[in-house]
Structure 1
Amino acid sequence: MSDPDPTSAWWLEPAPAATQGLSRSEAQERLAHHGPNTLESSHQRPLALQFLARFRNPLVLVLLAASAVSAATGDAANFFIIMALVLLSVTLDFVQEHRADRAAQKLRESVALRATVIRDGRQQELPVSALVPGDVVLLAAGERIPADGRLIEARDFFVNQALLTGESYPVEKRPGELDRGATELQQAANAVFMGSSVVSGSARVRIMATGAATALGEVAHSIQSEPPATAFEVGMHRFAMLLVRVTLWMVLFVMLVTSCCTGRCSNPSCSPSRWRWA
């Protein structure tokens, strides 16, 4: 039995011939190859460090420098205004990312804990994390679908897959071949996906993708990963770096001019008494 390709629209491939599941040895080999059927959880830094990391933005650093100059010159009004804007911007950015992390965590928690699997020709209750591509799983009303799979048998089988497709009503699933143009998840009438729930009926499903290779795994990854910078963000970053460079050059120029003037004025020939006698 060959492994399915989780990167393609596998529900368009011919129906699987083997429907009796895997042996224990086959399952162990595939588990070692594919890994456990769990969604990847990125390492979470402490919230305080996540918040402080927002201050590394060049524009934020420029604003902090401006607020420091305002404080040093006694301009309290500008100091408080700039600091308030910086804290507001950093806080909004932090809250947005924290909400995205919580959404990804809820996706991971929405998956069932155990599943009924056919191993060695008999039904077994196994942890969902032990499922591998090629396993045959039995599903019934009220259960969570533990992985992406292709229907082998189904009887009045309806699932709620709004988590993935946004469809507000349960969708009927049935085995069979589909048109080659049915490449979207909502068109996959012969497949079920991790995180969906069984509303009614029963089915026998062959697992095709597990863990991060599932449709739900891709959603969780897209939520957690940082989106590419927009053109506005790139422009703001470049502008901030330009401000930093200009500020540094101005500081160096002022220091150089001040040093030269101080050196000239320290010369005895620059004293007012010498000017009067001259």
Structure 2
Amino acid sequence: MNIVDRNLDKEENLAAARDPWHADPAESAFDTLQSSPTGLSVIEAEARLKIYGGNRLRPAKDKSALTRFLAQFNNVLIYVLLGSGLVTLLLGHWVDSGVIFGVVLINALIGFIQEGKAEEALNAIRQLLSHHATVKRDGQFITLPAEQLVPGDVVLLQSGDKVPADLRLFKSRELRIDEAMLTGESLPVDKNTHAVAAQAVIGDRKCMAFSGTLVTYGQGQGVVVATGEKTEIGRISHLLREVPMLTTPLLRQMSTFGKWLSAAIGIVAAATFIFGVVVRGYPLGEMLLAAVGLAVAGIPEGLP
């Protein structure tokens, strides 16, 4: 059986077992990953890289800037304002139509900028990963791009390093790691090599070092148990990408209110127009402009 075939079997076994690495001794992790404290050979690591893929997070599927901008106009109140602006434009009232379209454009720009900042915050997760790692290959520690790490690699951690992948620690010397990005804990966590309960939460898994966290003191060594999307930070990134757009009760109520308000404004504006033209005999153009002014005045421009 060649190396690629053996690695395929390993990937299938790991996917089926999904061992809680923190609940088993480090020796068990080495056995499961078919590795050892001396690390992997260069040939074995290259073969595993083809199987597991690079140690990186997939970028989010960003909507184009044009799509995000046009989405800001998808609101019933905006439709009313755009219709009012179009009517005033057709009547030749350039200043009035310019003011209406200006309000709509400013509202859309504000929403576009806010949504862009939210997407930038999600993409910032990818920047939390380490760019380099000290890895033992063929029995010697070398520095490699973190993207080349594979399960079974042995990684050296030192003060100031970012953890490049999820590791099961098997050596620790006064090792402390800042895990605030995952747990919110303000103080660095003292790490050791002892197994903990399978039900332990992330903050209590003292024998684990998680990708993207920062080594603040001491040294340690660990075997890579997860890379890329399989790491804890990778799962968070995946959840953020896949979570559906939720509508809060407040937004639902605002949407319903906007529809009722638009209908009420339309009825009142139409009634005013008909009353002025039919009953009072006012000119058609003046009453049309009055109806538009009433519609625009009745819409709170900040609500959309």
TM value normalised by structure 1: 0.72
Q: Deviations over 1:96-152 (max 9, x none)?
A: 332233223433223222111112232222110000112111111111110111111
**2:139 partner letter:** G
Q: Deviations over 1:52-72 (max 9, x none)?
A: 343345664454334323544
Alpha-carbon distance in structure 2 between the residues aligned to 1:99 and 1:198? 29
Counterpart for residue 234 of structure 2: 217
TM value normalised by structure 2: 0.66
Map residues 100-179 of structure 1 onto 2, 5 A cutoff.
Answer: 100-179=118-197
Change in CA separation of 1:218 and 1:82 when aligned onto 2, cut-off 3 Å? farther
Counterpart for residue 22 of structure 2: 11
Counterpart for residue 190 of structure 1: 207
What's the Cα RMSD here? 3.5
SS of residue paired to 1:202: strand
Alpha-carbon distance in structure 2 between the residues aligned to 1:9 and 1:236? 45
| CA deviation after TM superposition for structure 1 residue 199, in Å | 0.6
Q: Identity of aligned pairs, percent? A: 33
SS of residue paired to 1:216: helix
**2:220 partner letter:** A
Map residues 218-257 of structure 1 onto 2, 5 A cutoff.
Answer: 218-224=235-241, 227-230=244-247, 232=249, 233=251
**1:191 partner letter:** M
Counterpart for residue 83 of structure 2: 65
Alpha-carbon distance in structure 1 between the residues aligned to 2:74 and 2:252? 15
Kept in 2, the 8 Å contact 1:59–1:237? The answer is: no
Alpha-carbon distance in structure 2 between the residues aligned to 1:96 and 1:219? 22
Alignment gaps of 5+ in structure 1: 248-278
Counterpart for residue 99 of structure 2: 80
SS of residue paired to 1:117: strand
Alignment gaps of 5+ in structure 2: 1-6, 267-304
Kept in 2, the 8 Å contact 1:12–1:178? The answer is: yes
Counterpart of 2:42 (choices 10, 20, 24) is: 24
What is the total number of aligned residue pairs between the two structures? 243
Change in CA separation of 1:223 and 1:57 when aligned onto 2, cut-off 3 Å? farther
Kept in 2, the 8 Å contact 1:149–1:193? The answer is: yes
Counterpart for residue 55 of structure 1: 73
Kept in 2, the 8 Å contact 1:100–1:223? The answer is: no
